[in-house]
Structures are given as structure tokens and as C-alpha cells.
Amino acid sequence: MGEAAYHLRFDAGRTSLDLVGTVRERLSSRPIDRLGDAGRLREWLATTGLVPDDQVAVVDGAWLVEFVALRELLHRVVHAELADGAEPADLFRLNRIAAVAPPAVRLRRDRDGTLTRRLAGPPRVAAICSALARDAIDLLAGPDRALLRECEGDTCDLVYLDTSRGRRRRWCASTACGNRQRVARHRGRLATAG
């Protein structure tokens, strides 16, 4: 499966987890990166609402470098917290990123009367990364931490918040990993019976 087969996903339950989900580690020997260039990062930022569509043009290759580094850090911290705990150096780095002032936002009324969110000034990469780091800190130190799950799909390492009734969700998405697992089980039963 090529990179084009994987679209940007926004169903993990928190924006910081959505950033972590823009790369797949276990699909092949080489990770699949959904933020392969500045254009994809602009699309991701606009879709998440971190940077409004009309302000996203400033995002360039330097932003991509910072976001990939933050994504790698968040990936290590979140997965380590699901196991035995993150390294102190990684927690220090996350705290340092979060300490930057997050972007100031304002409400603006569009011509059609709809209220929209707008950044008070030009977007700055450090401020947007700070907002994501703060989201991760709120998640890991707050009540939602108990809802963190890693997808049980054989080829997936996405982490999501399990807000399902009964907290029995097993996959990042039933239509993706869940369906692949059900098909594999069905084929296994057919092979055994045949």
C-alpha cells in the first residue's frame, strides 16, 4: 500500500493524538508519513483549526521540520506512557515546547454572520507547537488519560481516546483496522475449514 492510500485522519479524539497519527510506524519496514511536505502540513493545520485557512499560507518547510520533531516527541511520550512511562528528557522537552506562549485567538464575524476563530496575528510555528504540547500535557495529566488506547490492528499503532459506550473500542476506526481484522479472521476460518 502506497502513501496515497492513506488520507489525513482526524478521529483520535485530541489534536495532539491526531498529529501523532499522521505517521504509521507498523505498516511496513518504512513508516508512512502523511505530512510529507509543507502543503500537506498546511492542509492538516487548516483541517484541525489550529491555523485558519486564510492564515495558513505562511507554513513552509521550516514549519514541517518543527512539526515532524514534535510529532516524534509526542509519539515517544504517548506510547511510553501507555507502557511504562516516558523518559524524563522527553518530558522536559515537551514542557519546554509548551512553555512558549500559545497563539492568541479572536472571534470574528464573517460576512454571512457566522462567528469564526482567527489568530490575532500571523501564525508562529513555536506558538502552534506550544498549543499542541499543552494539549498533550492536558491529556496525559488529566482525566482523559484513562481513555487512551492503542489500536489493536496488527499493522497499526495509532493511539486514540476510547469514548465508546462500555469503553470496549478496539480499533482506531472500525471501517479501517476493524474491518481488516474481521476480514483476516474470516479468511483464517475459511482456510481452517477448507
- What confidence tier does 4 reach under pLDDT thresholds 50, 70, 90? very low
What integer is the mean pLDDT of 110-134? 94
Ranges 65-79, 103-117, 131-145, 148-162: which has the least confidence: 148-162
Nearest CA to 55 among 46, 47, 66?
46
Dihedral over alpha carbons 56, 64, 80, 97 (to 10 degrees) = -70
C-alpha angle with apex 156: 130 to 152, nearest 5 degrees? 110
Nearest CA to 128 among 57, 73, 33, 59?
59
- What confidence tier does 1 reach under pLDDT thresholds 50, 70, 90? very low
